[in-house]
Amino acid sequence: MKEKISITSIASISPLGSTLEETWKAYQNDNHYFSLSEINGSKTWVAGISASAKLMVDELRESDSKYRKLDDSVLFAMVASRMAVAQSGWKNTSEFGINMGSSRGATKLFEAYHSEFLETGISSTLSSPTTTLGNISSWVSHDLGATGPEISHSITCSTGLHSVLNGVAWLNSGMSGKFLVGASEAPLTNFTIAQMKALKIYAKAPESNSGLVVDVSKVTERSQSYPCQSLNMEKEYNTMILGEAASVACLEAGVVENALAVIEGVGFATEILKHNTSISANAICFQKSMNMALGNINSAEVDAIVMHAPGTIKGDSSEYNAIKEVFGDDMPQLTTNKWKIGHTFATSGMLNLELAVLMLQNNKMVSVPFLEKKFKERNLRKILVNAVGFGGNAVSILISKNE
């Protein structure tokens, strides 16, 4: 990296809450935030945004007639962006760039408009502008009154951290001094969940009194307590669960006094795939992205890694193998948040970044409660954050304390 970048604020709405304080408090317990919902005729594990977050979204939706026609993914991003900008001290009239990403975009609206078209043969007037990917950044920019460049993009599940990459590139180029980056995802819809189940990676729901029965031949008592077994390298079945969330960060060039954390390195890589959803056994893409993020920094200086770890057998093991290749047997402390809130697609990397910032600020590790393997505890000064998506697009971000 040409110059270090400051994270002057980070905000999110997620299953954990709607403020940093609420989110950090939720990380202190060993509870998961999943619930069973009836989707496509069967019980399904999901992680919806918290009650406090839902109230904020509902209030925003009713505050302007134009907002009532927007998808949840757009409203989520607007709520999180308002909070991030307020925390950073930026004024709504400040000139700053915006990069908001989403893997799936306006899932709820798109499915509704498409169903309407199949039934009537007519497309609604707003079906195009409200479901385009660029809709997210443009509405965030409108809501904040921002005057800088606005970018929307999708690079599957690493989209959020790719937003950070883009922000860093703009700031290091000198083309902008401030950038708002983030991602938003509202994927708890019939078709999206059906897609994940078709891939055979979704967590199976337990037997219920409703007569809906699933294959529980390999469901242990421990996995019933924690339906997503992210980072459990001994699991014999896939346990990915979808969650919804938005997370946004304010980035500024250089190291500024009010920085929550400092970005010291960024890395990215794409590997050649055998099929659409594959990743190599040792995640070559992660090895490259982590080494790039480390640069000339000794790997022993990394105190913890917030892993992507989606809760699938291959996804978890390949990333773990990549970390072992880069760091050897003396690995940093490893953690993830997907056992708690599930996989939020594009937003997952940003929530990993938020967790890393909170751990740095509090000098406290958030561990995975059902894991028996213990890592050597260290003071938290540098944390590596990972994300990867379909297509083998890996991103790694190295952040440190602002000291």
List Cβ neighbours of 212 (8 Å cut-off, separation of 6 or more). 41, 42, 43, 205
Number of domains within the chain: 2
The domain of 301 spans 265-400
Q: Is residue 196 part of a domain?
A: no
Q: Is residue 387 part of a domain?
A: yes
Q: What is the pLDDT of residues 29-59, one digit of tens each?
A: 999 999 999 999 999 999 999 999 999 999 9
Tell me if residue 96 falls in helix, strand or coil.
coil
For residue 276, give both structure tokens: 């659409």
Rounded Cα–Cα distance for residues 112 and 69 (Å): 12
Residue 2 has pLDDT above 90, yes or no: no
Q: Find the range with the poorest average confidence among 92-96, 194-198, 389-393.
A: 92-96
Q: Is 14 exposed, middle or buried (0-12, 13-18, 19+ CB in 10 A)?
A: buried
For residue 265, give both structure tokens: 């390195």
Give the global pTM.
0.94
Answer with the residue of higher pLDDT: 391 or 152. 152
- Looking at every residue in the chain, the average pLDDT score rounds to 92
List Cβ neighbours of 192 (8 Å cut-off, separation of 6 or more). 104, 107, 242
Q: Is residue 197 part of a domain?
A: no
List Cβ neighbours of 189 (8 Å cut-off, separation of 6 or more). 107, 108, 111
Asked if residue 161 and residue 29 are part of one domain, the reply reads yes
Rounded Cα–Cα distance for residues 334 and 322 (Å): 13
Q: Is residue 125 part of a domain?
A: yes
Residue 133 has pLDDT above 90, yes or no: no
Asked if residue 317 and residue 185 are part of one domain, the reply reads no
Dihedrals φ, ψ of 150, to 5°?
A: -130, 135
Asked if residue 299 and residue 246 are part of one domain, the reply reads no
Asked if residue 284 and residue 157 are part of one domain, the reply reads no
Number of H helices and E strands in the chain, helices first, is 12, 13
The Cα-based distances of 210 to 40, 114, 220 in angstroms read: 14, 31, 21
User: Beta 97-101 vs 150-153: how paired, if at all?
Assistant: parallel
Query: What pLDDT is stored for residue 96 in this prediction?
Result: 94
Asked if residue 334 and residue 248 are part of one domain, the reply reads no
Query: What pLDDT is stored for residue 212 in this prediction?
Result: 32
Q: What is the pLDDT of residues 151-172, one digit of tens each?
A: 999 999 999 999 999 999 999 9
Query: What pLDDT is stored for residue 93 in this prediction?
Result: 61
Asked if residue 146 and residue 287 are part of one domain, the reply reads no
Q: What is the pLDDT of residues 198-234, one digit of tens each?
A: 999 999 987 543 333 334 344 444 445 899 999 999 9
Asked if residue 365 and residue 290 are part of one domain, the reply reads yes
Residue 82: band (very low, low, confident or very high) from pLDDT cuts 50, 70, 90: very high
Q: Is residue 385 part of a domain?
A: yes
> What is the CATH number for 15?
3.40.47.10
Asked if residue 319 and residue 245 are part of one domain, the reply reads no
Q: Are 261 and 360 in contact (CB under 8 A)?
A: yes
Among residues 253, 275, 302, which one ends one of the domains?
Answer: 253
Q: Is residue 231 part of a domain?
A: no
List Cβ neighbours of 275 (8 Å cut-off, separation of 6 or more). none
